[in-house]
């Protein structure tokens, strides 16, 4: 009986010892697992922070990129608007230039008519021997063949002309009897005039450069802003010939 009790007590002590060892071992494993879990959690938290930071950086980069894209788009829209405005202005300028050219051409035509009328009236007054009236068509510093003539010398010069008139128009445009050659500055025009002239025989020597028949004269005319009329400031004979 005593042996049985001893055996039971020994078995109970051994069981208790084994249970205590198991509990200690389980506690150590649980502690290690907790430490391992804590390390893993810390690592996961670190990874989460890294991912969060990366996402924020990507979002910021995306926002910056979207902003830059919008700025570039705005610049492109602005450039397109400027190009359209420039093209419209260029079109408007072309239209305006065309209208101005039309006005200028009309003005030149009207001015050419005024100049032709001045030359015609000057020729008519000479042919009618109204030298006083003819002097009203010339400027103060009138020159003929580069030589300056005062009023008395001028009348002496043109009195050698029996009659003079613009020649009849030619069918060939290159040989028109009245042609504006150049628009000078200020308010000066050079005209090429083909004339039919007859010179008084005994005075031919006093009128060099002009002979009986067809002559080509180069007129320089200036617009007098006071009298608002064209005046002849110089004449240079370019060609003389008999009819």
Give residue-wise pLDDT tens across range 197-216. Answer: 999 999 988 888 899 999 99
Strands, E assignment, the chain: 138-144, 147-148, 161-166, 178-184, 188-199, 213-224, 229-240
Q: Please check whether residue 176 lies inside any domain of the structure.
A: yes
Q: Note the pLDDT tens digit of each residue in 1-26.
A: 767 777 777 777 777 877 777 777 77
Contacts of 182 (CB under 8 A, 6+ apart): 189, 190
Dig out the tokens for 22 from the structure: 């198991």
Q: 231: closest CA among 102, 122, 109?
A: 122
Please indicate, yes or no, if residue 190 is contained in any of the structural domains: yes
The number of folded domains in the chain is: 1
Q: Quote the pLDDT of residue 43.
A: 83
Average pLDDT over residues 37-42: 77
Most confident of the ranges 46-50, 174-178, 216-220: 216-220
Place of tokens 């990874």: 47
Mean pLDDT, residues 96-116: 66
- The answer to whether residue 185 is domain-embedded is yes
Query: What are the φ/ψ torsions at residue 45 (nearest 5 degrees)?
Result: -60, -40
pTM of the predicted structure, to 2 decimals = 0.57
User: Does residue 122 belong to any structural domain of this protein?
Assistant: yes
3-class SS of residue 150:
coil
Q: Does residue 63 fall inside a structural domain? A: no
- pLDDT band (50, 70, 90) for residue 242: low
pLDDT at residue 109, as a whole number = 59
- What CATH number does residue 196 fall under? 3.10.450.50
- Listed in sequence order, the DSSP H helices in 128-160 are 131-134, 151-158
**Considering the domain boundaries, does residue 194 fall inside one?**
yes
Count Cβ atoms within 10 A of the Cβ of residue 209 and give its class: 0-12 exposed, 13-18 middle, 19 or more buried: middle
Residue 84 lies in a domain: no
Q: How far is CA 23 from CA 27, 29, 30, 31, 176, in A?
A: 6, 10, 10, 12, 134
137: in domain: yes
Check residue 147 and report its DSSP letter.
E
Find the domain containing 232 and state its range.
Answer: 104-240
């Amino acid at each position: 009986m005593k042996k049985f009790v001893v055996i039971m007590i020994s078995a109970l002590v051994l069981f208790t010892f084994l249970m205590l060892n198991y509990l200690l071992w389980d506690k150590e494993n649980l502690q290690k697992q907790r430490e391992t879990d804590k390390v893993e959690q810390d690592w996961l938290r670190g990874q989460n922070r890294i991912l969060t930071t990366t996402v924020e950086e990507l979002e910021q980069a995306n926002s910056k990129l979207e902003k830059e894209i919008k700025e570039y788009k705005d610049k492109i829209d602005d450039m397109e608007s400027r190009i359209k405005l420039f093209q419209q202005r260029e079109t408007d300028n072309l239209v305006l230039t065309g209208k101005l050219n039309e006005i200028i051409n009309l003005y030149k035509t009207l001015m050419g008519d005024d100049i032709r009328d001045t030359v015609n009236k000057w020729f008519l007054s000479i042919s009618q021997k109204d030298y006083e009236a003819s002097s009203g068509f010339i400027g103060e510093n009138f020159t003929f063949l580069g030589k300056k003539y005062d009023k008395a010398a001028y009348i002496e010069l043109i009195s050698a002309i029996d009659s003079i008139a613009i020649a009849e128009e030619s069918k060939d445009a290159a040989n028109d009897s009245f042609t504006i050659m150049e628009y000078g500055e200020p308010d000066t025009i050079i005209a090429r005039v083909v004339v039919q002239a007859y010179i008084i025989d005994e005075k031919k020597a006093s009128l060099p450069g002009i002979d009986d028949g067809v002559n080509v004269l180069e007129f320089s005319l200036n617009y007098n802003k006071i009298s608002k009329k064209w005046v002849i400031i110089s004449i240079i004979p370019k060609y003389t010939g008999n009819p």
